[in-house]
Amino acid sequence: MAAPAVTSRTVPTGYKLPEGFKATIAFSLRPAVNIWEIEVQPASMTAAAIDTSTQHNTKWMTKWISALVESGEVPGTAGYDPDAMDDLMFLCGAQAGSFTVIMPQNTKYSYWGGVLSFTFQPLKARQFPTLNYVALVTNYDTTNKVEAAPLVTQAVGT
């Protein structure tokens, strides 16, 4: 029986993001929507664990990692223009579109998908009016009608 490989950690050579400022999100169907990002979160990625244990196992449960990866939702918080309601209603539930999360050093993560929700937070004296949004990554190219991975566009010089 073969043993798993022992791997040593090497020094990372990439860009060490020092701060989460300034990140934004752009929706292809309304790139100039009047929201002001406060929190932006890129999508997570999850591969499922498949239980491959059988009555022939003797000590350990066994698993296999699925080749299919699921992209998580993209939540965030933003200030908003009350007059942007038409744009927000248009974006919520629009089925043909994409959106891009722009990272602080200008790397861009572009996803097929759209907005699941805009949730307005209570209006209070001395507090900035905000909304929470949730964008769904569909990984489905509605133009060509095929599965499509997120696109990563690296910033020049990073």
Instruction: Give the 3-state secondary structure of residue 106.
Output: coil
Q: Are 139 and 71 in contact (CB under 8 A)?
A: yes
Q: Which residues, in sequence order, are bridge partners of residue 83?
A: none
| pLDDT tier at 156, thresholds 50, 70, 90 | confident
For residues 147 and 111, the answer to whether their CB atoms sit within 8 Å is no
**Residue 157: is its pLDDT beyond 80?**
no
pLDDT at 158: 58
Contacts of 39 (CB under 8 A, 6+ apart): 75, 76, 77, 78
Tokens of 150: 């997120």
**Does position 72 have pLDDT exceeding 90, yes or no?**
yes
Q: What angle do CA 43, 47, 49 make, to 5 degrees?
A: 145
pLDDT digits (tens, 9 = 90+) for 12-70: 998 899 999 999 999 999 999 999 999 999 999 999 999 999 999 999 999 999 999 99
State yes or no: pLDDT of 130 exceeds 90: yes
What are the tokens at 127? Answer: 């507090």
Please tell me whether residue 105 adopts helix, strand or coil conformation. coil
What whole-number distance in Å separates Cα of residue 25 and Cα of residue 15? 21
Q: What is the pLDDT of residues 77-110, one digit of tens each?
A: 999 999 999 999 999 999 999 999 999 999 999 9
What pLDDT, on a 0 to 100 scale, did the predictor assign at position 51? 98
CA 102 to chain centre: 11
